[in-house]
Chains A and B, each alone.
Chain A
């Protein structure tokens, strides 16, 4: 089973005092400063939509967003939109690294220093491809088996917990990975 179109969300450690609209200038700055070969197209604002996608940096291959989402929990969501080469492990590692890098970039932003922190005790991985894998027990078992070792490498082995985010079979398959203590082996970019 080839898993493409992976999404990784890392929650903020609290959302008090954070205004979604402030991410519009920040993401626009990312476009202004972009020197990578990634095409960053535009910033879309859905701050007015409850439980919505928040503020999105739309790219050709990938999106970044600061969103509350269905769970109403602020965090950074990184989404891969184009097909990527490599193994499932390589693809999920890529997405996690990109999400972590984005979080760090936000925390290092001179206008945001000390104002925003991310909770690296866990993350959510979703597979945005219902054709390949649905939100079923079989799907979950496959993902669990496929990625467990990787997550154990990132977190403290004993405390890693992997669970389905939603029980609704119509939802995309999403897993919540949480570690009781800390995200000790943060993947570097």
Chain B
């Protein structure tokens, strides 16, 4: 833990938005509480996930070093940040960047954080956000404060919640879009962030915005909810898709509505979320995504459920407020600059211009795509990108689902100068849309679920493309390669021309890293088709797979035939035949190179795999609320110890109300915060029905709550505060017991 955490807290006082400040203070409090055994590990695990703090490989305290499994003797041997997850083990922090957008001050802060708390690298994910690795959990409150000071939150970046809402990275400047979807994406992000209706999901929930139906930038057909911009006459709206998703079992989203007017965007999203929270699977994690619910009930029934939910929603002015001034809500405009065009010949500029520029619909301006190898860039590079984005453009950049960064609104005449400066920081590589621009998830490098080294393979393929070992010509230039370390599709391998996901096989006494080859996915049409799994090949033979498949395509494709069409026409059997010999694994004694993975010289093992946190723990909203009640009570006890009896009594009472509210929510998820209304609902639904009654004490503990209600507001002294604390504790315990009985009786 950094010794400067308290100094940062002091330095940032008064500089954070109030809501973020309160959230972070509470999270810091949770950290203090788990250290004194006052928080259940499972609850803390899901709490930190919802703050973006993820586990990382080896956080179970074990690592196979190639010879033997070694115990990692982390200092705090008895402290865990989740089930089986050591407190001191390095973790990952996922940082939400709505629509992939960043401003200069955000880029600078992120750069500082990467240097001071991580390994100096910022990793761009396929959800257009950053991840920092090797972060200590004790430092997260400070990191969150520093992020909040520039308007960034990590809230709900992980866990069973609405993840970062992705958006076409050329929205607003695209030549094919009917309108800019960025403000809508921003509005939905702000509306759903921390919303009550998304706190009780069984799994994660992904939303995206696309500007057009034909390209792949937004991938509207592979999300829980996909919005594709559309005009009906002059009216703005969206093609509304639901129930898509990748993972081990990919589902194409289904069309819910051909035209959803923009004013219905937020309420309909809310309605879908409420239906998912209410009816989505909670226990069987592998069936808990929305796609399974839609498939189970059928689209017609799902639509009925959502429309019924929509009808009963309480009107919320946020649904349409942002529409009254869309440009005011979000807009970008070019920076007025005078540029002296560089006319001398610059090596590499021609291919950079050809491959990395997108000509905006606004004449004279281009989007410059910065190609990031494996989605990585250094803190220094990001800091300089911040400078360049402000020097040549409006200062904003977008991350892309293909793990790159785009500078927008760059005057065409500025490109040569910009290119020279990008090259100086190692970011001038051409091939923005080339086959060598490989997408890869973290895989065995840092992910607990990784089976094979996706990044190791991606780095090797990149090396072979750059060195010419794998020849690239115009025919294969634009193909897409995506590599996942396991079947969970984090790289979106189903949508690639050449997709790979990690598996393993056994030969003799040894395991061998493999990749399943998935061919012919379609990135365009919003991720219009998923590829065909062909065969599992040892990891070390995958570069040869790429060579053979691309050569086959070059030699046998028909004029104008796409790779997707070629794979369908050629068929799985023939392609598999071309690769069959590559599936052979030489004996260990004959060639040991097959028995270690790319970029990892250790003897390959699957022993380092851990339990994934992607799904998060299923912690119900009631669990969370009861835990909040306990935290309040604990704070009351501290206040009592400090001699602040009024505060102690008030907090103990508030904890009681919180406990009662938690149980009432099982009947009415929209229950008000007014304690008088909570009292009435509690009495009617839980006391009069005897649901709350303990088999032995009957309604005794509810009596403490009712008595307290009659006395409030009250002036507390030492004994009366102590009494309130004691009774509050008993009441909250009874709430826990009641909830357990309710759950068992379900």
Contact = CB atoms under 8 A, between A and B. Distances in A.
Contacts of A104: none
Contacts of A5: 2, 116
Interface of A is mostly: loop
A137 interface: no
A53 B121 contact: yes
Interface stretch (A10-18, A36-44, A141-149, A175-183): A36-44
A63 B65 contact: no
A119 B262 CA distance: 64
A42 B75 contact: no
A42 B3 contact: no
Given A5-B2, A41-B63, A132-B4, A56 B119 contact: yes
A52 B376 contact: yes
B646 interface: no
A46 interface: yes
A170 to B, nearest CB: 6
Contact of B380 (A28, A44, A51, A82): A51
Contact of A60 (B74, B445, B446): B74
Interface residues on A, range: 35 or more
A47 interface: yes
A132 B6 CA distance: 12
Contact of B4 (A31, A51, A52, A129): A129
A37 B3 CA distance: 22
A161 to B, nearest CB: 24
Contacts of A130: 112, 116
B74 A51 contact: no
B108 A48 contact: no
Nearest to A31: B65
A24 B599 contact: yes
Contact of A83 (B1, B133, B377, B383): B1
B209 to A, nearest CB: 30
Contacts of A37: 73
A116 interface: no
Contacts of B373: 48-49
Contact of B90 (A41, A49, A128, A132): A41
Contacts of B119: 44, 46, 53, 56, 58, 63
A31 B136 CA distance: 20
Contact of B376 (A24, A25, A49, A70): A49
Contact of B378 (A47, A49, A82): A49
Nearest to B380: A70
A70 B114 CA distance: 14
A46 B121 contact: yes
A63 B136 CA distance: 14
Interface string B50-91: 000000011000010111001011110000000000001110
A131 interface: yes
A19 B463 CA distance: 13
Nearest to A21: B599
Given A52-B376, A172-B115, A60 B88 contact: yes
Nearest to B455: A45
Nearest to B378: A52
Contacts of B463: 48
Nearest to B453: A45
B88 A42 contact: no
A50 B63 CA distance: 29
Nearest to B7: A131
B67 A32 contact: yes
B605 to A, nearest CB: 13
Interface in A71-100: 81-83
A53 B120 contact: yes
Contact of B426 (A2, A50, A131): A50
Contacts of B73: 37, 39
Interface in B574-609: 599-602
A121 interface: no
B287 interface: no
Contacts of A83: 1-3
B383 A170 contact: yes
A31 B7 CA distance: 35
A24 B377 CA distance: 20
A151 to B, nearest CB: 24
Interface in A122-161: 128-132
A70 B120 CA distance: 11
Contacts of B8: 131
B4 A41 contact: no
A129 B116 contact: yes
Nearest to A43: B600
B425 interface: yes
Contacts of B58: 41-42
Contacts of A56: 119
A28 B65 contact: yes
Contacts of B108: 170
B72 A41 contact: yes
Contacts of B459: 45, 47-48
Contacts of B378: 49, 51-53, 70
B602 A60 contact: no
A132 B115 CA distance: 15
B292 interface: no
Among A2, A45, A48, A132, max chain B CB count under 10 A is at A48
Interface string B78-115: 00000000001110000000000000000010011001
Contacts of B599: 21, 24, 45
Contacts of A44: 119, 133-134, 445-446
Nearest to A38: B73
Closest 10 CB pairs of A and B: A50-B426, A25-B601, A131-B4, A83-B3, A48-B373, A53-B120, A32-B65, A70-B380, A51-B426, A48-B459
16 contacts: A4-B3, A21-B599, A24-B599, A25-B601, A32-B67, A41-B58, A42-B58, A44-B119, A47-B459, A48-B374, A50-B426, A52-B376, A129-B116, A131-B7, A132-B4, A170-B111
Interface of B: 1-4, 7-8, 11, 57-58, 63, 65-67, 70, 72-75, 88-90, 108, 111-112, 115-116, 119-121, 133-134, 136, 373-374, 376-378, 380-381, 383, 425-427, 445-446, 455-456, 459, 462-463, 599-602
Interface of A: 2, 4-5, 21, 24-25, 28, 31-32, 37, 39, 41-42, 44-53, 56, 58, 60, 63, 70, 81-83, 128-132, 170-172
Given A2-B3, A28-B602, 9 more contacts: A24-B601, A31-B63, A41-B63, A41-B134, A45-B459, A48-B373, A49-B377, A60-B72, A131-B4
